[in-house]
Amino acid sequence: MLDIQRISKTFLPGTINEKKALDCVSFSAQDSEFITVIGSNGAGKSTLFGAISGSFPLDAGKILLDGEDITRLPEYRRSRFIGRLFQDPMSGTAPGLTIEENLSLVLLQGKKDATVFSRITVKDRDMLAEKLAELGMGLEDRLKQPVGLLSGGQRQALSLLLATLYPPRLLLLDEHTAALDPESALRIMDLTEKIARNSGATCLMITHNIQQALDTGDRTLIMSKGRIVADISGETRRSIGVSGLTELFRKNAGTDYASDRILLTDDI
Ligand SMILES: Nc1ncnc2c1ncn2[C@@H]1O[C@H](COP(=O)(O)OP(=O)(O)OP(=O)(O)O)[C@@H](O)[C@H]1O
Ligand SMILES: [Mg+2]
At residue 19, the pLDDT reads 96
| Averaged pLDDT, 190-197 | 91
Which ligand has the nearest atom to the CA of 15?
1
For ligand 1, residues with CB inside 6 Å are 11-12, 19, 21, 39, 41-47
Where residue 254 falls among pLDDT bands split at 50, 70, 90? Answer: confident
Question: What is the Cα–Cα distance from 246 to 224, expressed in whole angstroms?
Answer: 13
Cα dihedral 70, 108, 88, 13 in deg (nearest 10): 30
Which ligand has the nearest atom to the CA of 48?
1
CA distances (Å), origin 220, targets 12, 41, 62, 194: 30, 17, 22, 19
Domain boundaries, the chain: 1-81+169-268, 93-167
At residue 129, the pLDDT reads 92
Distance 89 CA to ligand 2 centre (A): 15
pTM of the model: 0.92
Query: Is the domain covering 1-81+169-268 a CATH 3.40.50.300 domain?
Result: yes
Atom of ligand 1 nearest to the CA of 208: 25
Candidates 216, 215, 210, 214; CA nearest to 192 is 216
| Averaged pLDDT, 145-164 | 92
At residue 265, the pLDDT reads 46
Q: Is the pLDDT of residue 117 over 80?
A: no
At residue 263, the pLDDT reads 47
At residue 116, the pLDDT reads 63
Distance 41 CA to ligand 2 centre (A): 7
Q: Using alpha carbons only, give the angle 129, 150, 166 rounded to the nearest 5 degrees.
A: 40
Mutate to test the pocket of ligand 1, among 7, 10, 11 (most ligand atoms within 8 A of CB): 11
Q: Is the pLDDT of residue 98 over 60?
A: yes
Mutate to test the pocket of ligand 1, among 20, 47, 59 (most ligand atoms within 8 A of CB): 47
